[in-house]
A and B are shown apart, each in its own frame.
Chain A
Amino acid sequence: MTYDKRFDGRKFDETRHMEAKAGVIKRAAGSGWFKIGNTEAYAAVYGPREMYPRFLQNPEKGVLRCHYNMMPFSSAGDRVRPGPSRRSKEISMVTERALRPVVDLSEYPNAVVDVFIELPQTDAGTRCAGICAASIALADAGISMSDLVCSISAGKVEDTMLLDLTYEEDSHEMGVDIPMAMLHNSKQISLLQMDGELPPEDLKRAIELVKKGCDQIYEVQKQALKNRFNETKD
């Protein structure tokens, strides 16, 4: 059997509909919202601010700290138990590592920049949506960054290579899911995880798909940041 038509009727290399906004959380130093299909992520950046406990401080440069959280009612299945889990801690860590190559915190010794990512609604690709939102939020917070980070997943269902998997595709018994994050200018990959097995040539194809998807995400992110200030302009 082959997977020759996607469940939601998209083309194989087509992303879900994307929307983004910057400055959605007023009290934060910077914030971003990113929606891709039914997956929705909010990110809020606080800081640079003083870091406690003190032993976590780094006197050479600031620390980036990410917190990923799925809200209890966010998934289509069971209620997500609140609080940190093994999964959310891992995703917090990979998110931080996906963003670290672009943020320059050398101006903020001993300080911390906190990124909080909340997901009110999920349909696979949450870590990718979280990274996209966090990238907008960090830029909005005026943090020095060399680039924006875009992130999307690619994968394989049965014999077909796909871009931007939904939960149905992601959880398919013959499905492989590869979330990736890419720096826009250099096309360097700062996140690559894989769930399943894949021959090398398919991974290359996946990277090609992601590269294409990331270019579209970048435009959405860029527009969100520009609109933040243009909206109120006369």
Chain B
Amino acid sequence: MGEMKVNEKEIVVPGETLAEGMDYLPSYGTHRAGDKILASRLGLVSVEGKVIKLVPLSGVYQPKRGDTIIGQVVEILLSGWRISTNSAYPAVLNMKDATSEFIARGADLSKYIAIGDYVIAQIINVTSQKLVDLTMKGPGLRKLKGGRIINVNANKVPRIIGKQGSMVSMIKDYTACRILVGQNGIVWIQGDDPNKELLAVETIKKIEREAHFVGLTDRIKNFLDANKAGITKLS
């Protein structure tokens, strides 16, 4: 009979034995060695039925198909743009996938999206060699004008968004800011009141710091209530 060696939600280190026996199945972040299941990275243990997986706590973003990311244009190519993705691999946004507008042959692409601009786009494909393709055709996908960009740990993005976007909509309600969170850990914030914009920045930093605390939503709600009028200085 198989036996778990660690508890659910426990933090495990690489090489640590998670379970013995053949009753459990290794999933993300784990591997089987003989009749044991070992951790292959640092993470939180999560057991779903017979499947053991690890929830990553740290690490650089790795592009995945279907992710919506925010990236900066770093280079203009013959028929598109190269976008930095906050990961080891830059992505390509093809002209065809960028806009439904007609772009004449040989047109200056920087008139549409210039170097240094930020875009919110979706990953349509990642090859085995990690060539990443993006699209800007889809609801909400566009070039970002104005606002400010902050970087957060990509593994904390689900906490910032919350269940069905509850966390981010709470911040939006309190700060009257427009906020977009890319799965690659880049967040775009735009507000009319600079003090409230700073409050949004601080709140997101707080979520990132306290992502694995219990009662995160209440803590954030209290923090927002205490600073309703916005803040004037970043800590």
Contacts and interface: CB of A to CB of B under 8 A. Distances in A.
Interface in B8-39: 11, 13-16, 29, 31, 33, 38
A171 interface: no
A143 B41 contact: yes
B129 A59 contact: yes
B159 to A, nearest CB: 13
A102 interface: yes
Given A49-B60, A111-B89, A225 B210 contact: no
Chain A interface, >50% SS class: loop
Interface residues of B, number: 33
Contacts of A147: 14-15
A32 to B, nearest CB: 11
A33 B31 CA distance: 27
Contact of A140 (B58, B90, B155, B212): B58
Interface in B205-222: 209-210, 212-215
Contact of A185 (B15, B60, B88, B89): B15
Nearest to A51: B88
Interface stretch (A155-163, A206-214, A226-234): A226-234
Interface residues of A, number: 37
Contact of B11 (A48, A49, A143, A225): A225
B89 A50 contact: yes
B56 interface: yes
Interface in B158-216: 209-210, 212-215
Given A144-B40, A225-B42, A110 B129 contact: yes
Interface string A211-227: 00000000001100110
A29 B86 CA distance: 12
Contact of B38 (A47, A143, A146): A146
Contacts of B15: 102, 145-148, 183-185
A29 B59 CA distance: 6
A142 to B, nearest CB: 2
B42 A139 contact: yes
B62 interface: yes
Interface string B64-90: 000000000000000000000001111
A234 to B, nearest CB: 6
A110 B130 contact: yes
A175 interface: no
Contacts of B215: 234
A198 to B, nearest CB: 30
A167 interface: no
Interface string A129-148: 00000000001111111111
9 A-B pairs with the lowest CB-CB distances in the bound complex, closest first: A142-B59, A147-B15, A111-B88, A145-B14, A48-B88, A142-B58, A225-B13, A139-B42, A226-B11
Given A62-B88, A234-B213, 11 more contacts: A48-B87, A48-B88, A102-B14, A104-B40, A110-B88, A142-B41, A142-B155, A147-B15, A225-B42, A232-B210, A233-B212
